[in-house]
Amino acid sequence: MTTDKMIAKKDGAVGRMIFNNPERRNAVSLEMWEAMEEIVGDFNADDNIRVIVLSGAGDKAFVAGADVSRFQDERASAEGIERYGQKTASATEALYASAKPTIAQIRGFCIGGGVGIAGCCDLRIASDDAQFAIPAARLGLGYAYDNMSKLVALVGPAAAKELFFTARRFKADEALTMGLINRVVPVAELQKTVDEYAEMIGDNAPLTVAAAKRTIDEIVKDPDKRNIEACQHMVQACFDSADYTEGRTAFMEKRKAVFRGR
């Protein structure tokens, strides 16, 4: 990677991606977006990785949006705006389309682009001190269709409009109510809870999890963009796999199944 502002770790079956810009509350710069796509690609290519967990360095923020201090260099010209948009779209799409399940571990501020990154994850687990906002209307920014459609699919049009129109901060319990996050836990329990989820997912049959992820992602797409044939192929691969035999055998033998993803 070309930046030390992103950290990638492989912890057994868990790939950990850490936004490492704590002095700016993990605000994301152009090179961080580029590294994000690279890290996701590396984790996806590693058969030993079953789950990807995203978190922010320090205790103040998950990701507090884009690094506005870099806008003059990165987003001041038409060419810069276009390049930045392409890089962010490519990175978020790589995360959203990841073959591996993804979990956003959210503590503190989750603002703007941070909401977008978390929204591209499959699960979002937040501490009770987390705060969420999309302040685009205070910066004069526009959000592209693809990013907006992901948010609307997650929280619905009414909540999406409230997030954008007001640009206000929402507390964790409000985010939970609108469906922006899956769970809220005390700060002291966040790491433990995320690790438990990662372990549960990692212990399950990878082909089944991948098929479910792909099928659900296709369901929320526009009907003319759905690839139902690909979903059917992945479902059939589950039934044709050695893991299916292992699952049935382990159930009958009353033991924990050991799945290998094949």
Q: Domain 6-201: give its CATH architecture.
A: Alpha-Beta Complex (3.90)
12 beta partners: none
What letter does residue 9 receive in the DSSP assignment? E
pLDDT at 74 over 70: no
Q: Model confidence at 183, in pLDDT bands (50, 70, 90)?
A: very high
Q: What is the mean pLDDT of the chain?
A: 92
The full set of domain ranges for the chain reads 6-201, 204-252
- Per-residue model confidence (pLDDT) at position 80: 67
Is residue 72 pLDDT above 70, yes or no? no
Question: What pLDDT is attached to residue 75?
Answer: 60
Confidence class for position 186, pLDDT limits 50, 70, 90? very high
Q: What DSSP element (H or E) covers 55? A: strand 51-56
The three-state DSSP-derived secondary structure of 104-155 is EEECCEEECHHHHHHHCCCEEEEECCCEEECCHHHHCCCCCHHHHHHHHHHH
pLDDT over threshold 90, residue 191:
yes
Taking only the tens place, the pLDDT of each residue in 26-38 is 999 889 999 999 9
For residue 123, what are the β-bridge partners?
103
What average pLDDT score do residues 117-123 get? 96
Indicate if the pLDDT at residue 256 is higher than 70. Answer: yes
C-alpha to C-alpha distance for 66 and 38, rounded to whole angstroms? 18
**pTM for the model:** 0.93
Within 8 A by CB and 6+ apart from 42, the residues are: 8, 15
pLDDT at 71 over 70: no
| CB of 19 closer than 8 Å to CB of 31 | no
Q: Looking at residue 112, what is its pLDDT? A: 92
Alpha-carbon span 178 to 155, nearest angstrom: 6
Distance CA 63, CA 52 (A): 16
Are 18 and 6 in contact, with CB atoms under 8 Å apart?
yes
pLDDT exceeds 70 at position 82: yes
3-class SS at 27? Answer: coil
133-182: per-residue pLDDT in tens?
999 999 888 888 888 888 999 999 999 999 999 999 999 999 999 999 99
